[in-house]
């Protein structure tokens, strides 16, 4: 059966046509090989788009939607775009309260729109670059700093885990938090774990990540989840959850819900909770982290799906683990990316010039 392929870029067409085309192009399916040159070219384009992580493609779709909506409001062409119009768009978005990070994504989305359409990229022109630099400088002058989420270090993780009970939801959330910390996992990686990805070893588990943001070539990555010696052992927590939920294959972390009670009588017996078959989505993983942190007395606004990864790497740093091992644990290509995940404490502690002057 032939698969639908994405048509030519709607250059000069109304913004709504551009938006619909980009939505389809960003998630284009790989066409079935039929030996023709046309299909091979469509496949090459589709593979190139799959080089971007799903989260990145989702952010780009949101950015292109915002760009197309703005162009439609002002009767401007959105493909191709002029540098002046892009600069005005970024300024208008900033005026509506968009953060610098959001505008950076908006600019990248417009760049990617032109790239896959095979058009010259206007976002690198001086007019756009200077406007963006001015927005960043103005934001800094206004005291707007990038918000860094709290690192859920081992000590903080212990506090978050303390109030969690031994019901099914508690067992799932406990296993999720400990596994995410031990493997320095992102929320998307946690959500994607399948039973088939776990292999028992003498010292713990080998977790295979079919996709990892840090692995640009798309190769699977092996993450070690070691046995612990305390009640916070991630492997035992994971196996307890798996046994209690009766999960032998498929997604590891799943939705759990309480079916409605048929009777309205106060003493009516509530039906048993149900473990679903579908995996949690990354957004739900982040919400679980926030809700469990809030229950332990932490401000949920300062924790996110990245808090477990940041906490694992920061804990390793505090233990004096060599940065090369931390980079390996975090699956980062550069030390600069690793630094962004570390939470540094007292700046005087271990100062390179301490005691010299």
State yes or no: pLDDT of 239 exceeds 90.
Answer: yes
Is a pLDDT exceeding 90 seen at residue 64?
Answer: yes
pLDDT tens column, 98-121: 999 899 999 999 999 999 888 999
Query: Residue 198: its pLDDT value, please?
Result: 95
Residue 350: partners with Cβ closer than 8 Å, 6 or more residues away:
none
3 has a pLDDT exceeding 60: no
* Structure-model confidence comparison of residues 5 and 315, the more confident one: 315
Least confident range from 31-35, 74-78, 142-146: namely 142-146
Q: Tell which wins on pLDDT, 212 or 21.
A: 21
Identify the pLDDT of residue 150. Answer: 82
Report whether pLDDT(1) > 60. no
Q: What is the mean pLDDT of the chain?
A: 87
Residue 181 has pLDDT above 90, yes or no: yes
Q: How much is the pLDDT for 292?
A: 95
Tens of pLDDT, residues 276-293: 999 999 999 999 999 999
Span 84-92, mean pLDDT?
97
* Mean pLDDT in residue range 127-136: 95
Distances (CA, A) of 37 to 25, 41, 276: 19, 6, 44
Are the C-beta atoms of residues 193 and 251 closer than 8 Å to each other? Answer: yes
Give whole-number Cα distances, 179 to 183, 187, 190, 316, in Å. Answer: 6, 11, 8, 16
Cα–Cα distance between 112 and 313 in angstroms, integer? 32
DSSP per-residue letters across 188-242: HHHHT-BGGGEEEETTEEEEEES--TT-TT---EEEEEE--SSTT-HHHHHHHHH
Give dist(CA 119, CA 9) in Å, integer.
9
Average pLDDT over residues 260-277: 74
Once rounded to an integer, what is the mean pLDDT over residues 259-284? Answer: 79
Please check whether residue 63 is in contact with residue 110, taking contact to mean a CB–CB distance below 8 angstroms: yes
Q: What is the mean pLDDT of residues 215-238?
A: 87
Q: How far apart are CA 281 and CA 111, in angstroms?
A: 28
pLDDT reading at 145 higher than 90: no
Q: What is the pLDDT of residue 183?
A: 94
Distance CA(104)–CA(136), nearest Å, equals 10
Give me the pLDDT at residue 5, please: 42
194 pLDDT band (50/70/90 cuts)?
very high
Comparison of pLDDT for 28 and 186, the residue scoring more: 186
In the block, tokens 């400990």 appear at 178
pTM confidence score:
0.69
The pLDDT, as a whole number, for residue 320 is 87
The sign of the CA dihedral 50, 51, 56, 62 is negative
pLDDT band per the 50, 70, 90 thresholds, residue 2: very low
Tell whether the model's pLDDT for residue 347 goes beyond 50: yes
Higher pLDDT, 265 or 129: 129
**What are 97's two structure tokens?**
């309260």
> 42-52, pLDDT tens digit by residue?
888 878 777 77
d(CA 201, CA 235): 11
Cβ distance 25 to 7 under 8 Å? Answer: no
At residue 92, does pLDDT exceed 70? yes
List domains and CATH numbers for the chain.
Answer: 15-141 (1.10.150.130), 154-259+271-341 (1.10.443.10)
């Amino acid at each position: 059966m032939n698969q639908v392929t994405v048509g030519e870029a709607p250059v000069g067409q109304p913004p709504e046509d551009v938006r619909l085309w980009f939505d389809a192009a960003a998630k284009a399916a790989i066409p079935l090989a039929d030996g023709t040159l046309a299909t091979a070219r469509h496949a090459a384009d589709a593979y190139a788009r799959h080089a971007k992580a799903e989260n990145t493609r989702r952010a780009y779709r949101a950015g292109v939607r915002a760009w197309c909506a703005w162009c439609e409001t002002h009767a401007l062409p959105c493909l191709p775009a002029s540098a002046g119009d892009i600069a005005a768009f970024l300024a208008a978005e900033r005026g509506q309260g968009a953060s610098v990070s959001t505008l950076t994504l908006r600019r990248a989305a417009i760049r990617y729109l032109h790239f896959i359409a095979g058009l010259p990229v206007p976002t690198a022109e001086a007019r756009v670059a200077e406007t963006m630099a001015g927005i960043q400088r103005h934001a800094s002058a206004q005291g707007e700093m990038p918000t860094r989420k709290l690192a859920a270090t081992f000590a903080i993780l212990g506090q978050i885990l303390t109030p969690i009970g031994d019901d099914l939801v508690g067992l799932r959330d406990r296993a999720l938090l400990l596994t995410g910390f031990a493997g320095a996992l992102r929320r998307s990686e946690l959500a994607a774990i399948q039973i088939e990805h776990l292999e028992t070893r003498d010292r713990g588990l080998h977790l295979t990540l079919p996709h990892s943001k840090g692995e640009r070539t798309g190769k699977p990555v092996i993450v070690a989840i070691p046995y612990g010696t305390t009640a916070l052992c991630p492997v035992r927590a994971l196996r307890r959850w798996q046994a209690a939920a009766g999960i032998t294959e498929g997604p590891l972390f799943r939705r759990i819900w309480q079916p409605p009670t048929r009777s309205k009588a106060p003493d009516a017996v509530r039906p048993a909770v149900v473990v679903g078959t579908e995996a949690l989505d990354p957004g739900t993983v982040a919400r679980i982290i926030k809700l469990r942190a809030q229950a332990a007395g932490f401000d949920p606004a300062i924790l996110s799906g990245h808090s477990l990864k940041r906490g694992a790497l920061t804990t390793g740093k505090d233990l004096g683990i060599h940065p090369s091992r931390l980079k390996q644990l975090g699956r980062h290509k550069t030390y600069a990316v690793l630094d962004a995940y570390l939470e540094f404490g007292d700046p005087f502690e271990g100062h390179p010039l301490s005691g010299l002057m």
